[in-house]
Amino acid sequence: MNQLFSFLLWGGTPGSGSGQTSLVSMLPILAIVAVFYFLIIRPQNKKQKETQRMLKELKKGDRVVTIGGIHGVIQSVRESTVILRIDENCKVEFARSAVGSVESQAKEKEDNSETSDES
């Protein structure tokens, strides 16, 4: 059994001296795996984390665009859905995951009161 694993890992029988050549022949494969990680997997994970953070931080008053291209203002935020005001009399409920991007954040009341106190 150990001889089988040794043969598969090192490309020969134990003690045949071909261990280094097998390791050298595996370097291109390891390089390809590293390139895939840094060019594909890592950026995708980073983008996914940013999207999750953006969806978690949605709040009333944010101007958003859905993945379908609908522009609106968030009227209320629920656990798994948001209600967008698309027009004066038109409100539509979407899943949070349907929000594609935030155009502008809602201004908080605290920020407005601080700026008025300084004037």
Q: pLDDT by residue (tens digit) across 33-81?
A: 999 999 999 999 999 999 999 999 999 999 999 999 999 999 999 999 9
Q: How many domains, in total, are found in the chain?
A: 2
User: pLDDT tens digits, residue range 7-25?
Assistant: 556 555 555 555 567 778 8
Beta bridge partners of 82: 77, 94
Of 53, 69, 86, the position where a domain reaches its end is: 53
Report the predicted TM-score, pTM, of the whole model to 2 decimal places.
0.63
Same domain (yes/no): 66, 110: yes
Q: Which domain holds residue 113?
A: 59-118
pLDDT score recorded for residue 12: 52
Same domain (yes/no): 66, 114: yes
pLDDT score recorded for residue 21: 75
Lowest pLDDT segment from 12-16, 90-94, 114-118: 114-118
Same domain (yes/no): 19, 35: yes
Closest CA to 93 of 75, 110, 118, 106: 75
Of 53, 70, 96, the position where a domain reaches its end is: 53
Q: What stretch of H or E contains 86?
A: strand 81-87
Same domain (yes/no): 39, 86: no
Same domain (yes/no): 68, 97: yes
